A and B are shown apart, each in its own frame.
Chain A
Amino acid sequence: MAFYDSVFKALGLSDWCGSESSSAPMSMADLLAQSSGEATKDEFFPFPSLDNLNESCSGIIQSRDVTKGIEEGFLAAKPMLKSILDPITQPLSWLLDGALWTFAVTPWFIMVPILLAISWFASRSVGVTVFVAFSIFLLGLVDHYDVAMQTLSIIFVCTGISVMLGVPIGIAMSKSDKLQRSVVPVLDLLQTLPTFVYLIPLIFLFSVTESKLYGIAIILYAIVPVVRLTDLGIRLVDQDVIEAANAFGMNSRQKLMGVELPLALPNIMAGINQTIMMSLAMVVIASLVSAPGLGVNVLRGIRNLELGVGIVAGIGIVLLAVILDRVSKAALQRVDMTRVKH
């Protein structure tokens, strides 16, 4: 006789509940109790959880039915989701594989100068460029050049796509309060969800051998700042200047390209900087789902308790983080300078 029997009786729901001796599957608690040879302790006033209610009324589902239901629902939707998402995201796999391949086959004596040239053109700073050269040298010295390049190529692709998608989304948000109100909670969710959590549905949806799996995980995580700061940057553009643009008869395209985006650029660049840093953070975690790179070594360090391997890879990640941050910050500072003094 379970605690809630009387409740259901009082409510006149006994018929709907069905006979007490129903062959409902045993609850987890019962099962545990049985196996440990103890009788279920009747609490004085158990919490009205699904399992407890089920004991009195088999018409009520059990908690494990809920998780099972979610799983079944997800599996049922999977073919359809997959048929839509697979073709859309397929280019991502190609891009990632292509980038990994390009970084791998390009010999270091070509690749390093290219990277240094990029650093120079982005930052226009001798100090930053020398620092990048030094960091790459250190990584190469301990034979981490290849893995570092893998990490870097994934970051390049994911940041690129994040910017390509994030900036237009940010622009659209800045133009429509309604859209902003509906997108901001999604961004909040993406940013607060522990990164492992959204790996779960992705693993179901795509096979772990496909590179787009980790690509999507990284982009979902890293796209948030660039969207937010594009939106913010455009909203913060001096209203007087916008008014002048209107007064001189600019159309919305001229306003966007000629006024809003240039004036929002420092904010957008700050967003891109954060996006880069977050893809780096995620690419390490994504090594759990077969993303190559420095993260794999960290994972090996954890799994096999190979302390040295893990720490060297960790330092490599720090180095990468610092050079990415320095180069993008220097670039940001440069665009910021053009509007103050020369």
Chain B
Amino acid sequence: MANDPKVRLRGMYKIFGPRDKEVLHHVKDGMGKEDLLEQYKHVLGLQDINVDMQAGEITVVMGLSGSGKSTLIRHLNRLIEPTAGEILVDGIDVMGLSEQELRNVRQTKMSMVFQKFALLPHRTVQQNAAMALKVRGADEATQNAEARKWLARVGLQGYEDRYPAQLSGGMQQRVGIARALTANTDIMLMDEAFSALDPLIRTDMQNLLLELQEELHKTIVFITHDLDEALKLADHLVILKDGAVVQQGEPQGILMNPCDPYIEDFVSDINRARVLRVKSVMAPLEGSEFAGDVDIGDNLESLIARSEGDTTLHYRVMDGDTAVGELHMRDLVKALVPRLSSTQTG
């Protein structure tokens, strides 16, 4: 079936502690993280996670420190065992795999990029990039050719024989990405892959990732605590808080309709004009007099510039060559005001 999700998490729970299975029912009955820690000395990592990740999309998991993001991503390749629940990859339950089969899945289906790069310090850049192939037992020629190809693709040709410690952080993470790409897996897991980098390099890396994604259409699970990064990359955004999913969906939708004060807080700080797109604020096509045509993917900032601040204008919204709706500048301005439930009375 074409649109079955690539990865499905169903009813997944994780409790850290020796008797996790025994205390699970307390959590299912609604006990919170603090109470669980106080009464049973177990840490609630994740509760009732249900997420579908579609093939070819970037699913971004966002949340504050300690919200369980790393815990979640490590369940996909079973670096962490869930307390309860199902993890389906390509329809196969990862929990049912033997050790050998699990290693196989890790070698051929998923690769991972780490926050602290986690490169092998005693191996050259090229050997690091070829790691996955070496683990699989590919011959030397293939290893070298593939590693060189992907290192070049991430802009590291000429550095093959250096050691990781000789590279800057940004370059090390490029090696990390090349290592994941060389593995040639459908799924790529990225745990705060860009969080350790300075802002400029970070933007570079985000662009690199989007560029690669355009070409390769991988299923990417990206962890971040940064909303701007999340909005830039996400096709599907999952927001975690204290180990539970507070809201998930298309990022523009979350921005327009935050369902929780926690998310409103998050959302209130960003430059909405730059992130929101015409698609999110347009109305059905009714009128006939327009000041001009705009593209459905344009961001609101560009429209404000174009209208020179005139809020009385209307634009026709085009998706390619077909008109799909209309945009009133009045609605646009309204959309720029963050909705805060705390300030809304009645």
Contacts and interface: CB of A to CB of B under 8 A. Distances in A.
Contacts of A193: none
A10 to B, nearest CB: 52
B106 A247 contact: yes
A238 B118 CA distance: 8
B234 interface: no
A249 B112 contact: no
Contacts, number: 66
A248 to B, nearest CB: 5
B122 A248 contact: no
A109 B204 CA distance: 64
A247 B107 CA distance: 8
A143 interface: no
Interface in A82-109: none
Contacts of B183: 248
A263 B107 contact: no
Interface residues of A, number: 21
B107 A241 contact: no
A263 B121 contact: yes
A247 B122 contact: no
A277 B221 CA distance: 53
B104 interface: yes
Contact of B79 (A246, A259, A263, A338): A246
B114 A243 contact: yes
A251 B103 contact: yes
Contacts of A200: none
Contacts of B104: 249
Contacts of A243: 79, 114, 118
B159 to A, nearest CB: 13
Given A248-B107, A254-B135, A342 B163 contact: yes
B169 to A, nearest CB: 14
8 contacts: A240-B114, A243-B79, A247-B106, A247-B189, A248-B183, A249-B105, A249-B135, A339-B122
Given A240-B117, A339-B121, A342-B166, 13 more contacts: A243-B118, A244-B112, A244-B118, A244-B119, A248-B131, A249-B104, A250-B135, A259-B120, A262-B120, A263-B122, A338-B122, A338-B163, A341-B165
